């Protein structure tokens, strides 16, 4: 099939996925990404064989992952995510990393390189995936949403840093120096972003917001591509640049266009969730190695083990170190949200496969467990919240057609 035909088929699946989610949503809420991934598996080489890996499609999918991480970085509000909550979230992730590396070391038979891949994957949180769930439930702007944002942000950012240090193929010292240099440049960019913008900047944003000029959206894309290029120059993973770009964009828009920030973000989200992000998830399904998962039995047996380890490694430290104002049900829901993972697991296992550190079966088991976590953990967390009457569906929200 040609590149154009492959892209048309993938986008047709992307259109079909929310229709299925809407139809099934009358009985059970299933995250939209699950339909995208499952349909990707269906049209992929291990089932119908209609779509195979192609360089052009893979590049667009990589952009989709970067957009997902960018939007997660944008959602972080530094005015609320700080203090004791931030300290607890950092310590929870540090404990998760130590626990994950230790368990992975035992599970992999003392294979250090494999332990780095598996252990890092076990510590991730899919903040970009759970944000729409929090938004639709009405939790995003409350205290519980702030706590989830803090723990989720560290669970997204921490593994990216660990990837740069442990999975870059360089020595830890060299990687640390490059990270410090990247952080210094990013800090300078933050200082620039906090400075008042000249009056003409805001005027151009307002004048072109409803025209073909779209200066603000183009400027956001320039920030994103600029930070991706900076990460590339420093030899770091592009996801680090995407996350930093999201945080920078929020700071710039808050200063230059406080009244139009939400509208600008809405247009960027339309580009992301309307095209790039679903393309990433569908391609994740296409490239999912179903044959390796079902071959021989070991990989399939590892799937529930990894699913349990997501809860133990990521969820348990979060439960124990959650802020004191969170009750038992809130801690449990927070742990389930924090244990939800997928995008970074895909990125980390891809690195492991490219470096021939993990086998195809182990990678498939990790990604398969992450897929189940996206399906099961948010649903359980939402049930815990609604059972206590804590989650609220915003006015005007559709009961079956959320942004899942």
Q: Is residue 157 part of a domain?
A: yes
Q: Is residue 402 part of a domain?
A: no
Cα torsion at 73, 399, 380, 34 (round to 10°)? -60
- Give the angle subtended at the CA of 152 by the CAs of 149 and 153, to the nearest 5°: 80
Q: What is the pLDDT of residue 55?
A: 81
- pLDDT averaged over every residue in the chain: 84
- Of residues 283, 221, 284, the one with CA closest to residue 11: 283
Q: Is residue 83 part of a domain?
A: yes
The Cα–Cα gap between 318 and 231 comes to 29
* pLDDT, tens only, 47-106: 888 888 788 888 888 898 899 889 888 877 766 667 888 899 999 999 999 999 999 998
CB 160 within 8 A of CB 344: yes
CB 50 within 8 A of CB 1: yes
Q: Is residue 274 part of a domain?
A: yes
Domain hosting residue 47, numbered range: 3-387
Q: Is residue 217 part of a domain?
A: yes
The Cα–Cα gap between 324 and 312 comes to 20
The Cα–Cα gap between 213 and 51 comes to 36
CB 205 within 8 A of CB 215: yes
Q: What is the pLDDT of residue 308?
A: 95
The CA distances from residue 340 to 18, 97, 152, in Å, are 20, 16, 9
The Cα–Cα gap between 170 and 361 comes to 26
The CA distances from residue 127 to 145, 155, 180, 342, in Å, are 11, 8, 24, 10
Q: What is the pLDDT of residue 394?
A: 45
Q: Is residue 21 part of a domain?
A: yes
- Is the entire prediction scored with pTM above 0.85? no
Q: Is residue 38 part of a domain?
A: yes
Question: What 3-state DSSP class applies to 382?
Answer: helix
Q: What is the pLDDT of residue 158?
A: 87
* pLDDT, tens only, 350-377: 888 888 888 888 888 999 999 899 888 9
- Of residues 352, 86, 345, the one with CA closest to residue 239: 345
Total number of domains in the chain: 1
Q: What is the pLDDT of residue 333?
A: 92
Q: Is residue 393 part of a domain?
A: no
Q: What is the pLDDT of residue 79?
A: 66
209-247 burial string, b = 16+ CB within 10 Å, else e?
beeeebbbbebbbebbeebbebbeebebbbbbbbbbbbb
Q: What CATH number does residue 292 fall under?
A: 1.20.1530.20
Spell out, as residue ranges, where the chain has pLDDT lower than 50.
Answer: 393-404
């Amino acid at each position: 099939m040609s590149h154009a035909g492959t892209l048309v088929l993938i986008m047709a699946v992307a259109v079909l996925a929310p229709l299925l989610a809407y139809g099934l949503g009358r009985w059970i809420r299933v995250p939209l990404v699950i339909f995208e991934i499952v349909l990707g598996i269906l049209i992929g080489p291990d089932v119908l064989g209609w779509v195979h890996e192609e360089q052009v499609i893979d590049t667009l999918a990589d952009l989709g992952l970067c957009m997902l991480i960018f939007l997660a970085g944008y959602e972080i509000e530094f005015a609320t995510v700080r203090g004791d909550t931030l300290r607890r979230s950092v310590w929870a992730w540090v404990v998760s990393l130590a626990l994950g590396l230790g368990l992975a070391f035992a599970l992999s038979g003392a294979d250090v390189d494999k332990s780095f891949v598996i252990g890092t994957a076990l510590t991730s949180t899919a903040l970009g995936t759970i944000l729409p769930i929090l938004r639709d439930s009405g939790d995003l702007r409350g205290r519980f949403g702030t706590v989830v944002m803090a723990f989720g942000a560290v669970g997204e950012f921490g593994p990216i840093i660990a990837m740069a240090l442990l999975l870059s193929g360089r020595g830890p010292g060299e990687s640390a120096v490059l990270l410090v240099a990247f952080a210094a440049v990013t800090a300078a960019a933050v200082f620039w972003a906090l400075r008042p913008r000249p009056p003409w900047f805001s005027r151009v944003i307002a004048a072109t917001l409803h025209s073909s000029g779209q200066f603000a959206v183009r400027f956001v894309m320039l920030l994103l591509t600029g930070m991706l290029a900076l990460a590339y120059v420093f030899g770091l993973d592009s996801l680090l640049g995407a996350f930093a770009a999201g945080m920078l964009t929020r700071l710039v828009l808050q200063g230059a266009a406080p009244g139009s920030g939400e509208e600008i973000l809405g247009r960027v989200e339309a580009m992301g969730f309307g095209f790039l992000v679903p393309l990433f998830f569908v391609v994740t399904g296409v490239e999912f190695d179903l044959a390796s998962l079902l071959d021989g039995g070991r990989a399939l047996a590892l799937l529930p083990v990894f699913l349990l380890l997501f809860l133990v490694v990521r969820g348990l430290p979060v439960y124990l170190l959650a802020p004191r104002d969170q009750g038992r049900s809130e801690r449990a829901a927070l742990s389930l949200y924090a244990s939800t993972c997928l995008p970074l697991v895909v990125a980390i296992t891809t690195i492991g496969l490219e470096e021939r550190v993990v086998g195809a079966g182990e990678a498939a088991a990790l990604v398969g467990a992450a897929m189940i976590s996206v399906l099961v953990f948010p649903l359980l967390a939402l049930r815990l919240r609604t059972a206590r009457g804590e989650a609220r569906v915003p006015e005007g929200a559709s009961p079956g057609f959320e942004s899942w």
